Amino acid sequence: MGGLCLRCDGNVAVTPVLRKTNKGVLVNLRVTPKSASARIGEVGEDAGGRRFLRVHVREVPEKGKANGAVIKLIAKAWGLPKSGIEVVSGGNDRNKVIAVEGEPDALMARLEALLGGEN
């Protein structure tokens, strides 16, 4: 299964925030549009065991504005090019998956460090 494997935490299968792929890393997000400020928040977990990174943006969820703001915010905060980040799942949902392109092992280590080891 590679980067898509699940960890078992008690009775709930936990999906990690970061998952390595052959082209980079997938990141689970929960986006809150129309926030008072744009910021990257803490790691959370839903009842189904899906772990995610909370992201707050000021833009409204219309015509891809919030998705564009998420990509811009993450690129700036993580020092990555916007062209290497794309929403691959959840385009019209607050729960999203973004793909971050790069050398998978180095990128995974870098993002885990930025998340403070929470994955």
Which of 10-14, 70-74, 97-101 comes out lowest in average pLDDT?
10-14
Nearest to 35 by CA among 63, 64, 56, 65: 56
In degrees to the nearest 10, what's the CA dihedral of 98, 99, 102, 103?
Answer: 110
What is the rounded average pLDDT for all residues in the chain? 88
pLDDT for the residue numbered 14: 64
The tens digit of pLDDT for each residue in 51-63 reads 999 999 999 999 9
Which domains, from first to last, does the chain contain?
18-114 (3.30.1200.10)
